């Protein structure tokens, strides 16, 4: 019984001329990278940017550190850089996409008001963080990366990534509205 090759092996095969090998890397990570882009740029732009990510990843795959079997953190780094180029190229007067409206459908229950309030508090608190700290938090919380892998995606040493995450957590706890939000969460969990 043979096991499936890891991403590093597939990237090596693609460099040796196996055209299907990189397609398999794309297949494995397309949903995660697409979701990462959609959360940051909106679904419509994410579809366009996703193609740019795969072109950039294909072009730079020779620089991939094959000591890492999972290419997902590297691909998030490529996606992050693609987003940065996209945002820098936008005209100053073009508004940033409102990612809060991305949810499919409208939730008719009363809990929606509470969720909207919670999302607004979280969005505001995240916006107050320095960009590197915000990216570490979102890569760990939304993309389910380890702190070390989130740091790798951003080109940061693991110790720096851990420090950024710690500083971000401390800043989030002290952000306006977060104390009440956290108290509500503890009350709800304690009641269950």
Domain CATH code at residue 177: 1.10.10.10
What is the spatial distance between Cα 119 and Cα 4, in angstroms, rounded to a whole number? 40
Tokens (6 digits) for 119: 């999302």
Give the domain-ending residue among 65, 85, 102.
102
Q: Print pLDDT tens along the chain (192 aa).
A: 568 999 999 999 999 999 899 999 999 999 999 999 998 888 889 999 999 999 999 999 999 999 999 999 999 999 999 998 988 887 765 555 554 554 455 444 444 444 445 677 778 888 888 999 999 998 998 888 999 999 999 999 999 999 999 999 888 888 777 766 666 655 555 555
Please tell me the total count of domains within the chain.
2
Shared domain for 185 and 128, answered yes or no, is yes
Report how far Cα 11 is from the mean position of its chain's Cα atoms. 22
- Show the domain range for 59: 1-102
Burial of 61 (0-12, 13-18, 19+ CB in 10 A): buried
Give the domain-ending residue among 102, 129, 147.
102
CA atoms within 13 A on the CB side of 159: 0
Which residue in the block uniquely carries the two structure tokens 């494995």? 28
Is the pTM higher than 0.75? The answer reads: no
Give the domain-ending residue among 102, 124, 156.
102
What is the spatial distance between Cα 22 and Cα 118, in angstroms, rounded to a whole number? 40
């Amino acid at each position: 019984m043979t096991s499936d090759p890891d991403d590093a092996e597939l990237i090596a095969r693609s460099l040796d001329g196996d055209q299907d090998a990189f397609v398999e890397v794309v297949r494995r990570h397309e949903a995660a990278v697409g979701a990462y882009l959609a959360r940051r740029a909106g679904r419509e732009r994410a579809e366009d940017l996703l193609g740019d990510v795969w072109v950039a990843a294909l072009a730079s795959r020779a620089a991939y550190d094959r000591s890492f079997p999972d290419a997902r953190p590297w691909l998030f780094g490529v996606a992050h850089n693609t987003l940065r180029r996209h945002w820098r190229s936008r005209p100053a007067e073009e508004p940033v996409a409102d990612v809060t409206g991305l949810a499919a459908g409208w939730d008719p229950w009363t809990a929606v008001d509470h969720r909207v309030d919670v999302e607004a508090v979280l969005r505001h608190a995240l916006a107050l963080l320095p960009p590197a700290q915000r990216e570490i938090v979102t890569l760990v919380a939304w993309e389910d990366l380890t702190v070390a892998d989130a740091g790798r995606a951003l080109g940061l040493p693991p110790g720096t990534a851990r420090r950024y995450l710690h500083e971000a957590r401390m800043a989030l706890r002290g952000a306006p509205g977060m104390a009440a939000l956290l108290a509500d969460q503890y009350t709800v969990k304690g009641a269950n």
